[in-house]
Amino acid sequence: MDARTFGDDIAHINLSTGSIETRSAPREWVKKYVGGRGLGVRYVLENGADVDPLSPDNILCFMNGPLTGSETSMSGRWAAVTKSPLTGTVTDSHQGGWSAARIRWAGFDGLVFEGKADHPVYVFIEDGKIEIRDASELWGKGIHETIAFFRKRYGAKNLSVNAIGQAGENLARFAAWVNEDDRAFGRGGTGAVGGSKNLKAIVVRAGDEKSVVPDKAAWQTARKRALDAIRDEKNITSPKKGGLSIYGTNVLMNVTNSIGALGVRNSQLTSFGKRAESISGEHVEQNILSGNPTCHACPVACKKEVEIKDGAWKGLKMESIEYEPAWALGANCDVDDIRSVAKLIDQCNDHGLDPIELGNVFSVFMECTEVGATGTTDGESLAWGDDARMVALTEKIALREGIGDKLADGAAIAAQYFRRPEIAMACKGQAVPAYDPRGLKGMGLGYATSNRGACHLRAYVAAAELGVIGIEADPLEWRGKGELVMIFQDLAAFSDSLDLCKFTAFAQGAEEYAAQWSAATGLDCTADDVMKAGERVYNLERHYNNLAGFREGSDTLPKRFTEEPSTLSGSAGHVSELDQMLAEYYAARGWQAGVVPEAKLAELQIP
């Protein structure tokens, strides 16, 4: 079968009118913004930067990349792109599993949802056709039950279900979409946008794998080169190396803890001491690991299924305990029981909540309880390490009941409600992930300059600062981090547009990406083209944010990171020198105090 030209099959689904139309993306957009993240952001820009994120006027894009659904290693991903109800910025979130590939095999490169249905609905996709169907009986159900319902109705074989839970239905600002019970569009509140449109689920059934890239020698050569790099024993993606394949992403818990870069008790401390071991990937592998499933076309298998064998949650089976959620709901909240962490993550998967934001919401509430700043909560409180109370509160947040109604708006808004805005560890309204900027200076700059709010994945500089790739950078040195963060951001923007797993960057670089992009599209692409496309996508996002009101002074870190020195081994005495790094960064970007000037827009051919 001849491969379709990527971008020719974008389904525009108007939930207000019920109309469904398949259109081609403008060829110039595909050439300039590639697909996935970049193409989705271009659609969101076209829709305007002044829309209310939870209004019918906002659009919700699900975009594949040109390699999605192929045999390209680690290509089983797609992007959800919209204006975020949590931050007010453009946001994109990425999801693994099998949904992306099956959407492509079913005949579509992307889905753009517009408007709002007058009752709960889902879309069913198969063999190039899309139907809007009634989901009223599923409204109020969790994601696990919703997926089970569709598997019973349509059969589990070749079926993928993406759904929102009660959190999305109730417009929790950090609600997520989840597929196959545990793979999430986790950050930015995309699930709330789905809820605002009465869109409960996206169900796709695809038969045999179909060709999505030209079947030619150049692609096979490019694919083999990339796969060889992933399997190289010198990098963390190699099964022989250990790391991700054996312990999953949570292999980083002990590493980050050891250098004083693991935030504890809402980042009041920078190390969890010996207690970090009990929530680490090594502990999971030795005590509760039950399986190693993988996403489409992935040789790494970083997902770690677990089964709780004793305690209050005995019998719980779930996947997967990732590093960021384990930190957010563990060390960050002074919890060292991996069984409770697993339970909380499973609740997030069922209700559809971002566990990183949830953990930060809890730690804000805990610190407010600690200092007596909870006078607005009608006697509600939350002590450090109270995992049973955390489980109960997660239900209230998803349902917006009691104090859960306030906590459902995210850490930054919750801290304002408690009249302690300074204790929210957030940037642009989104809470920080699992790396303390006092112990990893480049990550701090990455948080501050991320276009979607605090994020480790916009620029995973920790790979260099922790020494897990060939490039090494002193984690405690701020000099040189401006240009380094920019390079990482641009490369990630490109890989997110292909759309490839972030872990490919542990083994591959711009040359490998260029070879695969060129072979899949027929374009004559070089490593320089890859970096230029990534720069264009990053500047496009920043331009959108500028139009949405994020201008000079928007790239900040909480004062805890810039004014309160770490007191623990590895980073003792250090703060984040954000101002100095920002000066380097803006000079490298050619920006004026965080604003993209007209000359840069013209250079990159951004409208």
Phi, psi of 82 (to 5 degrees): -165, 180
Q: What are the pLDDT digits (tens) for 368-385?
A: 999 988 766 667 899 999
Between 461 and 501, the higher pLDDT residue? 461
pLDDT at residue 323 tops 70: yes
Q: What are the pLDDT digits (tens) for 122-178?
A: 999 999 999 999 999 999 999 999 999 999 999 999 999 999 999 999 999 999 999
480: left (phi over 0), alpha (psi -120 to 50) or beta: left
For the chain, the average pLDDT equals 93
Reported as a pLDDT band with limits 50, 70 and 90, residue 208 is: low
Between 463 and 63, the higher pLDDT residue? 63
Picking from 189-203, 318-332, 544-558, which range would have the lowest pLDDT averaged per residue? 318-332
Is 247 part of any domain? Answer: yes
Is 186 part of any domain? Answer: yes
3-class secondary-structure state, position 133: strand
Q: What are the pLDDT digits (tens) for 434-461?
A: 999 999 999 999 999 999 999 999 999 9
User: 92 with 41: CB under 8 angstroms?
Assistant: yes
Does 414 share its domain with 461?
no
Q: Name every residue whose Cβ is closer than 8 Å to that of residue 47 and which is 6 or more positions away in sequence.
A: 57, 58, 59
Q: What's the pLDDT score for residue 243?
A: 73
pTM for the model: 0.96
Reported as a pLDDT band with limits 50, 70 and 90, residue 226 is: confident
> What is the pLDDT averaged over residues 29-40?
97
End position of a domain, from candidates 424, 458, 487? 424
User: Tell me, what CATH number does 61's domain have?
Assistant: 3.60.9.10
Q: What are the pLDDT digits (tens) for 37-46?
A: 999 999 999 9
Pairing of strands 129-134, 121-126: antiparallel
End position of a domain, from candidates 424, 454, 469? 424
User: Structural domain tally of the chain?
Assistant: 3
Count other C-beta atoms under 10 Å from residue 605's C-beta.
9
Q: Name every residue whose Cβ is closer than 8 Å to that of residue 361 and which is 6 or more positions away in sequence.
A: 174, 397, 407, 410, 411, 414, 431
Specify burial of residue 323 (Cβ count, 10 A radius: 0-12, 13-18, 19+): buried
Does 53 share its domain with 189?
yes
Reported as a pLDDT band with limits 50, 70 and 90, residue 81 is: very high
Does 29 share its domain with 53?
yes
Does 450 share its domain with 370?
no
Does 342 share its domain with 486?
no
User: Tell me, what CATH number does 552's domain have?
Assistant: 1.10.599.10
Is 230 part of any domain? Answer: no
Reported as a pLDDT band with limits 50, 70 and 90, residue 181 is: confident
Peptide bond into 320 cis (omega under 30): yes
Instruction: List C-alpha distances in Å: 172 to 109, 405, 408, 467.
Output: 29, 8, 5, 37
Is 3 part of any domain? Answer: no
What are the helix (H) ranges across 183-251?
190-196, 217-231, 244-247
Is 315 part of any domain? Answer: yes
Domain that holds residue 145: 10-205
Does 17 share its domain with 99?
yes
Is 257 part of any domain? Answer: yes
Q: What's the pLDDT score for residue 212?
A: 66
Does 496 share its domain with 396?
no
Does 415 share its domain with 470?
no
Is 218 part of any domain? Answer: no
> What is the pLDDT averaged over residues 300-320?
88
Does 53 share its domain with 84?
yes
Q: What's the pLDDT score for residue 105?
A: 93
Q: What's the pLDDT score for residue 240?
A: 47
Does 403 share its domain with 520?
no
Is 525 part of any domain? Answer: yes
End position of a domain, from candidates 155, 190, 205? 205
Does 444 share its domain with 498?
yes
Q: What's the pLDDT score for residue 506?
A: 79
pLDDT at residue 237 tops 60: no
> What is the pLDDT averaged over residues 528-536?
97
| Percentage with pLDDT > 70 across the chain | 95
> What is the pLDDT averaged over residues 584-597?
98
Rounded-to-integer distance, Cα 589 and Cα 580, Å? 15
User: Tell me, what CATH number does 292's domain have?
Assistant: 1.10.569.10
Does 582 share its domain with 465?
yes
